[in-house]
Amino acid sequence: MPDTSTTILPYATRPRPNWSAVVASQQAVLAILILVEISIFSFTGTNFFSRDNAFETLRQSLEVGLLAVALTPVIVTGGIDLSVGSLMGLTAVIFGKLWRDAHWPVWLAAAGALGVGLLAGLLNGVLITRLRIRPLIVTLGSFSLFRGLAEGVTRAVDNFTGFPESFTRLGQGYLFNVIPVQLIVLIVISIVFWAFLHRTTIGRALVAIGFAPDGARYAGIPVNRRILLVYVLSGFVSSLAAIVYVAHWGQAKADAGTGYELLAITAVVLGGTSIFGGRGSVAGSLLGWLAIAVLQQGLTLSDLPKELGGILTGVLLIAAIVVNQLLSSFTSRRRGAQ
Amino acid sequence: MTARHFLRRYQREISVAAAYLLLLLVLAIRAPRFFASGEMKDIFVSAAPTLVAAIGMTLIILARQIDISIGAQLSICCIVAGILSQRNWPIPLVAAGTMVAGLAMGAANGLLVAFINIPSIVATLATWVILLQAKKWWNQGEMIKGLAPDFQWFGLNQTAGQWAVVIVAAVLFVLFAAAVRYVAAGRAVYAVGSDAEAARLAGIRPRRVTFTVFAIMGVLTAVAALLAAVRLPHVDPKTGEGGFELQVIAAVVVGGVAISGGRGTLIGVLVGVALLGTIRSALVFLGSQAYWDKAIQGAIILLAVASDAFYRRTQ
């Protein structure tokens, strides 16, 4: 087949990938990967194949799942948010400070923390939309700034503990003795984001913006407002993830969420969302998240080092993009005259 | 060109230089012992690795890419240097071996970005994690000791060694500054960063340029690792883990290199490195605390790109 990637063909006959087939096939590959992982770890891991462990797997990585869902619309618009993990750290310590040092009631402190997340997302969004700076460098800067502020506020050593049981139930409690409470949070957020991205006109607009920003602008979409919205939402969900994290581990430290941004981005890309924007799927991101969560839990139960998990995640990220590209070129077909 | 044209064209570099001079002025007034205590010399020696890495990062950002894996690359290069020296390899061979390691890692990045078409942020994020975790798995943080005596300061005494470090950085800087401006291959980097398709139509091979830029970054990171490691008689495998890549990117961005590629000079980056290196020390002398370092660095990156963008909007 001739290399058509650089030839200028008439628009109608240019081979275009069948995007829905690409996304569906990528998710099928992902589902198979998850099944393979489960099979392998059922053999090598102690007590892996059990209902309790299934819930525990979800519970351990839940914060990453929240981040992955929130990052999906961001990446769909062609942007990226590297600061989500660091924002978790900042929100966690501010939450701790409001509760312990300013003596706010714990749920008010949580609300305050969510406010911080909104403001942080606003900062990212304003720099990206008003000043037209590339999301990459803005969020690289805020990635450093947020973590740095968290370390500064706690003098790099302070640690907030002793939260009331009514609060830690959120991260350590179980409904009907089986379902982790925080899973409900993830389910609610996932449904909201799924509806937002796939069932509203705003969500459609996001896809258009990622596919062709100028085209979206000419179509009358308020591009800046939409982009600002996704970064604000990302900040909000990051702070929500931080609150779940603090409830889960019972302590608020400046290093909360370290490395989570990589896991979240990998989950999103694994799920079929294009890193270039223009197509994406919340369901896919959840599948990608599952693949990573099962991998991490499986390695822990098989007594393998967690560094191996990190390496495999990096490899998965690269593999996901390569597979995505291959699927796109395989499902390409000419439309029109021929 | 007229003086006015010169001022407009290099306004970024000039404003960074002005900020640097202002900082020195503030220090002269508020904490004059800064200049007497030999602190400036220490700053130059510890900024040398950053400068060398910043040269490579400048090329990468000029080509409209980014590389956030250099912290892990630096760590691994330090470890390689330590191990080779433990085996009593003479220092020139240690240096050569380290540079080969750096080249390999840089080439891997280049392969992923230039030939497999993975966006550089994602590719280098992945390689950063893979390299860092592989290193952690293999070396749990123990220092590498028992190095050959010619390792520390290249076998020279401390003063001569410090001069050697600074001179190596300075020579590399001058070479690359000249090359990027006067050699066709150097200008090709600007071309690819401005408009890769136009560069391709003009006969440049963007893939090759992109690959080479990452490979060069790898070699320069290895040199930076050497310049950093020879300061001590043992190797700390945690070198480079504390946000080295962000320091380097901050220096490059502050120095006026546009993150969208195609614009910027190495002279500006030199001033950026000097400014940021001095800020860190100056803050200590002016009474600030080390745990605010990361926050200040992030704020500097944001301020630098924001002021750039703001200025460009009002043009």
| Contact flag A137-B137 (C-beta cutoff 8 Å) | no
Q: Which of B118, B133, B291 sits opposite A310 (nearest CB)?
A: B133
Residue among A234, A197, A282 at smallest CA distance from A23:
A282
Q: At what angle do helices A62-76 and A84-100 cross, to 10 degrees?
A: 130
Distance CA A173, CA A250 (A): 12
Residue numbers in B near A146 (CB within 8 A): 298
B183 falls in which pLDDT band (50, 70, 90)? very high
Q: How far is CA A335 from CA A7, A12, A25, B151, in A?
A: 16, 6, 21, 65
Q: Give per-residue pLDDT as tens, B245-304.
A: 888 999 999 888 888 888 889 999 999 999 888 887 777 777 777 788 888 888 888 888
Q: What are phi and psi of A160, to 5 degrees?
A: -105, 125
Q: Are A251 and A128 in contact (CB under 8 A)?
A: no
| Beta bridge pairs of residue B144 | B235
| Contact flag A325-B137 (C-beta cutoff 8 Å) | no
Q: Give per-residue pLDDT as tens, B197-238.
A: 999 999 999 999 999 999 999 999 999 999 999 988 888 888
- B158/chain A closest Cα distance in angstroms: 33
Number of H helices, E strands in chain A: 14, 4
What is the DSSP annotation of A235-294? HHHHHHHHHHHHHHHSEE-TTTTTTHHHHHHHHHHHTT--TTSS---HHHHHHHHHHHHH
Per-residue model confidence (pLDDT) at position B161: 87
- A153/chain B closest Cα distance in angstroms: 8
Q: Which of B119, B295, B313 sits opposite A145 (nearest CB)?
A: B295
Q: Which of A127, A132, A317 sits opposite B302 (nearest CB)?
A: A127
Distance CA A234, CA A206 (A): 14
Pairing type for strands A160-161 and A174-175 reads unpaired
Residue among B114, B88, B110, B225 at smallest CA distance from B168:
B225
Say which DSSP state B183 is in.
Answer: S
| Contact flag B130-A314 (C-beta cutoff 8 Å) | yes
Read off the tokens for A76: 């769909």
The residue of chain A nearest to residue B306, with distances taken between CA atoms, is A131
Q: Which of A137, A152, A311 sits opposite B295 (nearest CB)?
A: A152
Per-residue model confidence (pLDDT) at position A2: 52
B64 falls in which pLDDT band (50, 70, 90)? very high
Q: Cβ contacts of residue B112 below 8 Å, gap of 6+? A: A318, B118, B123, B126, B127
| Contact flag A148-B68 (C-beta cutoff 8 Å) | no
Q: Give per-residue pLDDT as tens, B236-262.
A: 888 888 788 888 999 999 888 888 888
Per-residue model confidence (pLDDT) at position A8: 64
- A283/chain B closest Cα distance in angstroms: 21
| Contact flag B129-A143 (C-beta cutoff 8 Å) | no
Would you call B182 exposed, middle or buried from its count of C-beta atoms within 10 A (0-12, 13-18, 19+)? exposed
Select the residue from B301, B312, B313, B314 to test the A interface by mutation, using most A Cβ atoms within 10 A.
Answer: B301
Residue with tokens 């136009």: B198
Q: What are phi and psi of B213, to 5 degrees?
A: -60, -40
Residue among A320, A9, A142 at smallest CA distance from B118:
A320
Q: Which of B68, B118, B295 sits opposite A149 (nearest CB)?
A: B295
What is the DSSP annotation of A62-98? HHHHHHHHHHHHHHHTT---TTHHHHHHHHHHHHHHH
pLDDT in tens, chain A (338 residues): 555 555 566 666 666 777 777 777 888 889 999 999 999 998 888 888 888 888 888 989 999 999 999 999 999 999 999 999 999 999 999 999 999 888 999 889 999 999 999 999 999 999 999 998 889 999 999 999 999 999 988 887 788 888 888 888 888 888 888 888 899 999 999 999 999 999 999 999 999 999 999 999 999 999 999 999 999 999 999 999 999 999 999 889 998 999 899 899 999 999 989 888 888 999 999 999 999 999 999 998 888 888 899 999 999 999 988 888 887 777 765 444 33
Q: Are A25 and A331 in contact (CB under 8 A)?
A: yes
Distance CA B315, CA B313 (A): 5
Residues of A with CB under 8 A from a CB of B: 80, 127, 131-134, 136-138, 140-149, 151-152, 155-156, 259, 262, 265, 269, 275-276, 305, 307-311, 313-315, 317-318, 321-322, 325
pTM (two decimals): 0.88
| Contact flag B310-A131 (C-beta cutoff 8 Å) | yes
| Contact flag A314-B309 (C-beta cutoff 8 Å) | no
Question: Is the CA virtual torsion B94, B83, A259, A163 positive or negative?
Answer: negative
Please compute the mean of the pLDDT values over residues B153-158 and round it to a whole number: 84
Per-residue model confidence (pLDDT) at position B81: 93
The residue of chain A nearest to residue B61, with distances taken between CA atoms, is A137
- A54/chain B closest Cα distance in angstroms: 26
Distance CA B85, CA B238 (A): 18
Per residue, the 3-state secondary structure of B44-88, as one string, reads: HHHHHHHHHHHHHHHHHHHCCCCCCCHHHHHHHHHHHHHHHHHCC
Least confident of A217-226, B96-105, B154-163, B170-179: B154-163
Q: Are B67 and B113 in contact (CB under 8 A)?
A: no
Distance CA B31, CA B39 (A): 12
- B179/chain A closest Cα distance in angstroms: 27
More confident of the two residues B36 and A184: A184
Q: How far is CA B295 from CA A141, A274, B280, B300, in A?
A: 9, 31, 12, 9
Q: Cβ contacts of residue A49 below 8 Å, gap of 6+? A: A38, A42
Classify domain A20-330 by CATH number: 1.10.3470
The answer on pLDDT for B315 being more than 70 is: no
Measured in residues, chain B has a length of: 315
Please compute the mean of the pLDDT values over residues B98-117 and round it to a whole number: 96
| Contact flag A148-B134 (C-beta cutoff 8 Å) | no
Say which DSSP state B112 is in.
Answer: I
Q: How far is CA A173 from CA A177, A260, A317, B110, B215, in A?
A: 8, 23, 33, 47, 51
Amino acid at B47: A
Q: Are B261 and B62 in contact (CB under 8 A)?
A: yes
Residue among B156, B138, B176, B152 at smallest CA distance from B52:
B176
Q: What is the percent of chain B with per-residue pLDDT over 70, rounded to a whole number?
A: 99
What is the DSSP annotation of A150-182? HHHHTTTT--EE---HHHHHHHH-EETTTEEHH
